[in-house]
Structure 1
Amino acid sequence: MSTSSAAETRRLGVETTGIEVIDEAERTASPHDLFWPWFAANISVFGISYAAFVLYFGISFWQGAVVAVAGITASFALCGVIAIAGKRGSAPTMILSRATFGVTGQKVPGVVSWLTSIGWETFLAILAVLATSTIFERLGWGGGTTTQVLAAAVVAGLVVAASVAGYHVIMRMQSVLTWVTGAVTLAYVLLTLDHVDWSAVTALPSGPPQAVVGALVMVMTGFGLGWINIAADWSRYQRRDASGGAVVAWNTVGGAVAPVVLVVYGLLLAGSDPALLEGIGDDPIGTLATLLPTWMLVLFLVAVVLSLVSGAVLGIYSSGLTLLSLGVRIPRTSAAFVDGLILTAGTVWVVFFAQSFIGPFQSFLITLGVPLAAWAGLMIGDIWLRRRDYADDDLFTTRGRYGSWDVVATVTLVVASVVGWGLVVNGFAEAASWNNWQGYLLGPLGGREGTWAAANIGVVVALVLGLLGSLVLRRATVRRQEATPVDPSGTASDAAADPAVR
């Protein structure tokens, strides 16, 4: 991007940059800037409702609190490590991943990444629509089909508009939404404190270690690991001389601080009221709204919708970039619009036709979480092994140092996923029967009905296998890539003609 076009982008607010490497002049962000998008996307009241999902594992408040602090913090720290790649390469996450899998081979984890982002943004839009319907019904303003249709249209419109505008607008939007949603969330906590029954909370029985591990895996998958495939998208505007440690720290703090507080407080609420605990499974935000006085509902609804839109915007922006990395030759803005249509269709299907909400969602998280965790392990190992910045031009041609396919990385991804899927089990056999094939390696641990079945250790196993595969099997490959001298003439012209560029 030229200096004049960059200035025009800032003036118009619409980002025209797609999957190409960000120009040096545009890399002006500092590590502390990463706080805003991650905090705004995770300050949602949905974090409170997530506590119910933790308690569904049959664990105590104190066990749940440890799970929340450890799982959320660790998962966002892993996002921070992936964000280092964005600082080094100034390109989207799935483009930088070509250094690990090859320019063509990257399409394998790229499809998983795209599906994950689409799923998350649709899920957040669904929450916003359900919350609007419930609150409108309580206010006596309707809440039926008409309300849900209008809410779906408004939410989808807001998400698509912001994601089409791009990075600069989103960063400004997130810095504002942080204060708005943060203030209303704090007000929610203050207004619902009297619903906490400490004696009921402390009376919750402790669960076995397997249940704690299962809750930990779910929390990691639902928070940081759910975002890990887009982490470098928001650090690609960082200055090349920015501290890698600072990038990790600000990413972790921005992403984890709000969810940790909200989930722990949610454990207090859900542990105090069995009816609240049960209702969250079908309509998380709407159920939490029942605790508020009527005068607070409109403000609560606005803040909730904005916070959910904030998270969905990050997803749809990045899913558009991932779509381009898969070879779809359309402008970034068009990719965002296409994903917006998919988001709308998914929202309509779940809101109007699906019979269960939490079942398919958790099954979806675990299923895609396994290969995503394996990919994350491979990427983290690759980042750890590298001592130099990426060769920008070679990320866009199969004739460069990264080649077309990295067979070792691809095979490791497949093996880690196959092993991982064998160690997770679909706990929602009726709501998500399409996942009943999982858990085929649980025999030595008691089978699909054993005590370890619900722990879903396959996610962690896939991550570790990916990490070890990268550190042990790809060390020589990374050294060879970094030893290859850079062609002074560059490969940009060759890359432009290479069918693997897009």
Structure 2
Amino acid sequence: MAAPTPPLEAPVSAPDETLPAASTLIERTGIEIIPESQRTAKPRDLFWPWFAANVSVFGMSYGSFVLGFGISFWQATIVSVIGIVVSFFLCGLIAIAGKRGSAPTMVLSRAAFGVHGQKVPGIVSWLTSIGWETFLAIMAVLATATIITQLGGDGGVAVKIIAIVVVAALIVTASVLGYHTIMKLQSVLTWITGIVTILYIILAIGHIDFATVLAQPGGNIGQVIGALVMVMTGFGLGWINIAADWSRYQKRTASDGAIIGWNTFGGAIAPVILVVFGLLLGGSDADLADGIANDPIGALAQILPVWVLVPFLITAILALVSGAVLGIYSSGLTLLSLGIRIPRPSAAAIDGVILTLGTIWVVFFAQSFLGPFQSFLITLGVPLAAWAGILIADILRRRRDYDDDALFDAKGRYGSWDWTSIITMVVCSVIGWGFVINNFADEAAWNNWQGYFLFLIGGKDGDWAYANLGVFFALVIGFVVTWFARAGTIRRQEEGTGR
């Protein structure tokens, strides 16, 4: 009789006595199932990582980005609040899977895509996480150079090199140490960044000119929707591919509603306040808004008195590092889910090297990075939205916990490839890319192929061209198709008969 085929990876951790304790300095747990003895987190614990990662003053720069769509202050405020809250609510829905399966997000999506089919969205997720964490590191380095210059120093090559070394070291060290260190770090950073952000608001409030802000003319519905999509992709949808990574230490008995609530509240509360304040600042000063386009945090620092620049710089860097740490930790887990057989700390270190090289290239060689980054964000945002719609529908259809063994066995109930989900994601992406436009045709010419379906809604010069409806279409179509097309498959999987 032939020997049984081994699973793709070990489905569960080793027995408890061989597992690293919560107090161990470096988390050794990779993508395996978290054992019951270590699922000690409570839903309210989710507040700390999500709040700390999103309380950065960088959030204020989105005020200028949103107004850049040509909409009024009130339109921008409504769009920002809705976009931030809804996008983090979607993260909360994904986080339910972490509680039910106690595994990283991309491993849990094997239930929807198949054990090997998950690699398709996994690659998109990994690229998105790498892009975000590198972007945050770049922001920290540029902010350092700008503020050092404001203090009368030389923010040139030497300062930038030192900043890159320090920022990269902080990000990589925390991500290599792992979950328990990150959770403790985030709870401390929450207070530090929160206090200094409040101080910034107090000092900058005199810069606001309400008459100028309220005089901003309103935009059409296409411009409003475009701003909404940008806010959603810049906040919650930018984190959605890692949302379950932070809930996998929750008890299986934890309330779904509590997980959604704390995830949404922790992620959304700070950005809502910061973006609205950023709208007031950007709408008051056109020069400030223009400066934010090239160096968001450095431009925001220019309106501060000199005595507060050093604590502002330190806090801004720590806040950006906080967000990058979440990204690089999860990108390492995603790398492992793609079949790379290395320890989790090594995966985080590899992504740290990529982050460092990317930061060096942009800081010293790239002519512009904000435009290409936003173009990159929308491009990956389409398939990521399709994946999110598929997985959310899959999660809401399920009534039972995941089969731990089957998540790592291509011959288990989840199968090797779920072609319904894969084809749905591909078709949604093709449709979505057809309804988005490259707003940065000169800076990111490699993306000018998009928008091939815009002729259906007025062409590339029409009112709807910059609405980026493709992100919405991908999310909604992915959800609806999965809700109906995979209902029977999900039922059979939960009955234990799926293949």
For residues 319-367 of structure 1, give each alpha carbon's deviation from its aligned partner in whole angstroms, at most 9, with x where no partner exists: 0000000011110000000000000111111111111122111101100
For residues 33-74 of structure 1, give each alpha carbon's deviation from its aligned partner in whole angstroms, at most 9, with x where no partner exists: 000000000000000011111011001110010011100000
Q: How does 1:61-460 map to 2 (within 5 A)?
A: 61-460=73-472
The residue type paired with residue 34 of structure 1 is L
> Which of 14, 17, 24 is the equivalent residue of 1:4?
17
Q: Shift of the alpha carbon at 1:112?
A: 0.1
Counterpart of 2:10 in structure 1 is: none
- Is 1:50 matched with 2:59? no
Identity among equivalent positions (%) equals 66
Contact residue 175 and residue 325 of structure 2 kept, 8 A: yes
The residue type paired with residue 459 of structure 1 is V
Contact residue 230 and residue 318 of structure 1 kept, 8 A: yes
Secondary structure of 1:10's counterpart equals coil
Higher mean C-alpha deviation, range 345-354 or range 16-25: 345-354
Contact residue 22 and residue 38 of structure 2 kept, 8 A: no
Secondary structure of 2:267's counterpart equals helix
Which 5+ residue runs of structure 2 have no aligned equivalent?
1-13
Secondary structure of 2:23's counterpart equals helix
TM-score, normalised via structure 1 length: 0.96
Contact residue 40 and residue 249 of structure 2 kept, 8 A: yes
Rounded Cα–Cα distance in structure 2 between residues aligned with 1:11 and 1:91: 20
Rounded Cα–Cα distance in structure 1 between residues aligned with 2:442 and 2:160: 26
Rounded Cα–Cα distance in structure 1 between residues aligned with 2:74 and 2:367: 33
The residue type paired with residue 3 of structure 1 is D
TM-score, normalised via structure 2 length: 0.96
Rounded Cα–Cα distance in structure 2 between residues aligned with 1:364 and 1:260: 24
> Which of 454, 459, 462 is the equivalent residue of 2:474?
462
Higher mean C-alpha deviation, range 15-24 or range 346-355: 346-355
Rounded Cα–Cα distance in structure 2 between residues aligned with 1:9 and 1:338: 25
Secondary structure of 2:387's counterpart equals helix
Q: Shift of the alpha carbon at 1:283?
A: 0.2
RMSD of aligned C-alpha atoms?
0.9
What is the count of residue pairs matched by the alignment? 485
Which 5+ residue runs of structure 1 have no aligned equivalent?
487-502
Counterpart of 1:499 in structure 2 is: none
Q: Shift of the alpha carbon at 1:485?
A: 6.6
For residues 375-400 of structure 1, give each alpha carbon's deviation from its aligned partner in whole angstroms, at most 9, with x where no partner exists: 00000000011010000000001010
- Is 1:59 matched with 2:71? yes
Contact residue 281 and residue 357 of structure 1 kept, 8 A: no
Q: Shift of the alpha carbon at 1:75?
A: 0.1
For residues 187-216 of structure 1, give each alpha carbon's deviation from its aligned partner in whole angstroms, at most 9, with x where no partner exists: 000000100000000000001110000000
Q: Shift of the alpha carbon at 1:13?
A: 2.4
Rounded Cα–Cα distance in structure 1 between residues aligned with 2:18 and 2:317: 34
- Is 1:20 matched with 2:32? yes
Q: How does 1:464-479 map to 2 (within 5 A)?
A: 464-479=476-491
Rounded Cα–Cα distance in structure 2 between residues aligned with 1:11 and 1:112: 33
The residue type paired with residue 298 of structure 1 is V
Rounded Cα–Cα distance in structure 2 between residues aligned with 1:327 and 1:114: 13
The residue type paired with residue 473 of structure 1 is A
Runs of 4+ in 1 over 2 A off after TM superposition: 1-6, 8-13
